[in-house]
Amino acid sequence: MRKPNYDKYPCIEVPGGEGCCVSGWEACLDRLRQAAARREASKTVLVVECYPGVDEQAVYHLLNRRLTPGLAVFAPEAMLAPAHIDALVNPFLGGDDPVFGFLCGLTLPEFFDPGRVATLRNRVQSFPSGLVLVVGCGASLIAEGDILVYADLPRWEGQNRFRRNEASNLGVENRTLPGHLQYKRAFFVDWRVADRWKRPLMSRWHFVLDTTVPNQPRLADGEAVRRGLAHAITRPFRVVPFFDPAPWGGQWMRKVCDLGSENPNYGWCFDCVPEENSLLFRFGNEQLEMPAINLVFAHPRALLGDGVHARFGDEFPIRFDLLDTMGGGNLSFQVHPLTEYIQHHFGMHYTQDESYYLLDAGPGAGVYLGLRENIDPAAMVRDLGQAQAGGAPFHADRYANRWPAKAHDHFLIPAGTVHCSGADSMVLEISATPYIFTFKLWDWGRLGLDGKPRPIHLQHGLPNIQWDRSTPWVEKNLIGRVELLAASERWREERTGLHEREFIETRRHWFTDVTPHHTRDGVNVLNLVQGEEAVVESPEARFEPFSVHYAETFIVPAKVGPYTIRPANRGEPCATMKAFVRDPAALTGNQVAGTTAATVTRLRPNVLEPLQSI
């Protein structure tokens, strides 16, 4: 096993950031007092807007006690009664479904009582002089404020607070509800509402309050945060990964990523899911953690590129994560929804096509993918139903193909294809971003980490199974699709997928020296799948050299343009997997399959132009 060098806390250094961030409540309070004093006004309204999951009551009480304002207002007091809020959001929660709902189109003002809002606004406006404090989610609905502080929280920390019964959903007190139901409500309602409210406020932030670590706040100047966001899209960067155990989890990441022993295993590593990951900014000697999605909101075109932004707006469409079953068990036998199904049933406009790239594999490792030839669909449906009802276990091998898997194999999984990774595999999962829409068909009769049966989704899964994706089709379309596109003495580029129905293109580069790349006005996501360390550089010295280590995922914004990657140790064999959004007008893989690299160059000059020898 290689020596761990995986960086679990990647940080972005903000130019000129010295003194722009402070930590600890005393320093944060002093900074706010100084900001109010600099106004030299008879009255100052300090608004502290909070993202769902922030302990807004604790923030309110602490600021009220320590700043001693003349008037203090807690914004949630103007919200509708909890029963009314429940009635407002229930249509989006899918009834008794424990996992799935429908993405809401609600806005934050709909959670508030107009009369109560008007009363609090009048109190703030009519207060004659001194400091006025307004705190909570929706605080900027009560008052625009002379000083606007945004108390933010990454979604991953919000999820952990649900699990620990430390947070409630927007506008209600439900912290005793099971964490997975709180997460569901946050995913389909709270975070959508809060993000709609956050976007237009970002340009007005005077300060950003990092509340990720309880009782360890950090406060940064809003202008410095915006400068950090603008700096991030000029260079490669990584989001802060997070790790989670799983019923099928393994032990590979514990060693390679140097993780602790507090969990029995680690099944997941989310290292490129900007909706849930965070960014770490360093301002001199201080660090600030904030949701990575803020970067997508602030600079969508520079980050994603014009073409990707035109298709996806301010959503990051590519997800990389790691699935560890080394010393563990099979993932659930599953299927992802077809595009029309996810649109009609859940309100998403694109679906979770994906692929499995094998970083590592033990002897006998395999991947379940597609159906066996000439199976009886009715018999499979019957057997799945009986297994779910507590009858005989479902025999997946009777109905599904199990393909042998080794390191660097790439299995393509367009939506509607039954699949799962088997035990003793280390998977880099490359997928589209709608990441919770996995329909479990069978979970091998095991319990979740909470000791309870995991939800099975036959009612959703069965309508999406594509029964014609059997052995011959899978062999032709989803396995071993490697095309040599270009090569030199120092590197070669291969196209490894994805399937023509998927909008993500993937490229593998093997290299022992400097290898040229180009974003071509589209965001690139890469993982170092072989080699101890590699260095990403700008041929024009537009950013500082950026080091990445084995199994780390990194993002290259569209704005970067040309860049190179080389082994940190010259001559060491390395490899990267790169994903980007495919040009809709590009030729399909079948149309270039079997052609020579020279022919590919003629047909697709946009692919090979940046890959000439240097």
CA dihedral angle for residue 447, residue 449, residue 451, residue 455, rounded to 10 degrees: -50
Assess whether pLDDT exceeds 80 at residue 1: no
pLDDT at 106 over 60: yes
Summary mean pLDDT of the chain: 93
Could you give the CA distance from residue 186 to residue 53 in angstroms, rounded to a whole number? 9
Tokens standing for residue 113: 């009582």
Per residue in 203-225, pLDDT (tens digit) is 999 999 999 998 899 999 999 99
pTM score: 0.93
Instruction: Report residue 324 as tokens.
Output: 């560890």
Fold category of 483-611 in CATH? Jelly Rolls (2.60.120)
- Which residues are CB-contacts of 397 (< 8 A; sequence separation ≥ 6)? none
Question: Is the predicted pLDDT of residue 591 greater than 50, yes or no?
Answer: no
> What's the pLDDT tens digit per position in 562-584?
999 999 998 999 999 999 999 86
Name residue 563's beta-bridge partners.
517
pLDDT at 214: 87
The residues facing 47 across adjacent strands are 134, 148
| 22-62 tens-digit pLDDT | 999 999 999 999 999 999 999 999 999 999 999 999 999 99
How many CA atoms within 13 Å lie on the side-chain side of 567? Answer: 18
The residue type of 495 is: R
- For the chain, the C-alpha Rg in angstroms (whole number) is 25
State the pLDDT at residue 472: 97
The three state secondary structure string of 150-210 is: EEECCHHHHHHHHHCCCCCCCCCCCCCCCHHHHHHHHHHHHHHHHHHHHHHHHHHCCEEEE
Tokens 């390395």 belong to residue = 574
Identical fold between 23-232 and 244-285+303-477? no
Burial (Cβ within 10 Å: 0-12, 13-18, ≥19) of residue 88: middle
Contact 274, 154 (CB under 8 A): no
Which among 476, 343, 531, 337 is positioned nearest to 417, based on CA atoms? 337
The strand pair at 354-361 and 425-432 is best described as antiparallel
pLDDT band at residue 598 using 50, 70 and 90 as cut-offs: very low
Q: Which region holds residue 98: left if phi is over 0, alpha if psi is between -120 and 50, else beta?
A: alpha
Predicted confidence at residue 2, as pLDDT, reads 62
Residue 607 has pLDDT above 80, yes or no: no
pLDDT confidence of residue 434: 84
* Distance between CA atoms of residues 156 and 483, nearest Å: 38
In this prediction, residue 586 carries a pLDDT of 56
Q: Is the dihedral of CA 447, 452, 453, 457 positive or negative?
A: negative
Q: Is the pLDDT of residue 279 over 50?
A: yes
Strand-by-strand arrangement of the 439-442 sheet: 400-404, 366-371, 419-421, 333-335, 439-442
Checking if the pLDDT of 606 tops 60, the result is no
Q: CATH topology for 23-232?
A: Rossmann fold (3.40.50)
Token look-up 């979604």 returns 155
160-193 burial: b if 16+ Cβ within 10 Å, else e: bbbeeeebbbbbbebeebebeebbbbbbbbbbbb
State pLDDT tens for residues 431-450. 999 888 999 999 999 988 88
State how far the Cα of 390 lies from the Cα of 387, in Å rounded to an integer.
Answer: 5
Point out which residues pair with 354 in neighbouring strands. Answer: 413, 431
What count of residues does the chain have?
614
Q: Is the per-residue pLDDT at 611 higher than 80?
A: no
**pLDDT band with cut points at 50, 70 and 90 for residue 3:** confident
Phi, psi of 289 (to 5 degrees): -105, 135
Nearest to 542 by CA among 563, 566, 568: 563
* pLDDT at residue 32, rounded to an integer: 98
The mean pLDDT value for 100-104 works out to: 96
Q: How distant, in Å, are the alpha carbons of 74, 250, 252, 291, 319 from that of 532?
A: 52, 22, 16, 29, 23
Nearest to 299 by CA among 309, 307, 291: 309
Amino acid 590: pLDDT: 35
Domain ranges of the chain: 23-232, 244-285+303-477, 483-611
Encode pLDDT of 56-90 as tens digits: 999 999 999 999 999 999 999 999 999 999 999 99
User: Percentage of the chain with pLDDT > 90?
Assistant: 89
Could you tell me if 422 and 330 are in contact, meaning their C-beta atoms sit under 8 angstroms apart? yes
When pLDDT is averaged across residues 316-322 and rounded to a whole number, the result is 97
pLDDT, tens digit, 9 for 90 and up, residues 323-336: 999 999 999 999 99
In sequence order, the β-bridge partners of residue 548 are 534
Between 160-169, 497-506, 575-584, the lowest mean confidence (pLDDT) is in: 497-506
Number of Cβ within a 10 Å radius of residue 574: 26
Architecture category of domain 244-285+303-477 in CATH: Sandwich (2.60)
Residue 329 confidence (pLDDT)? 97
Give yes or no for a contact between 140 and 199, defined as CB atoms under 8 angstroms apart: no
Average of pLDDT values for 168-186?
A: 97
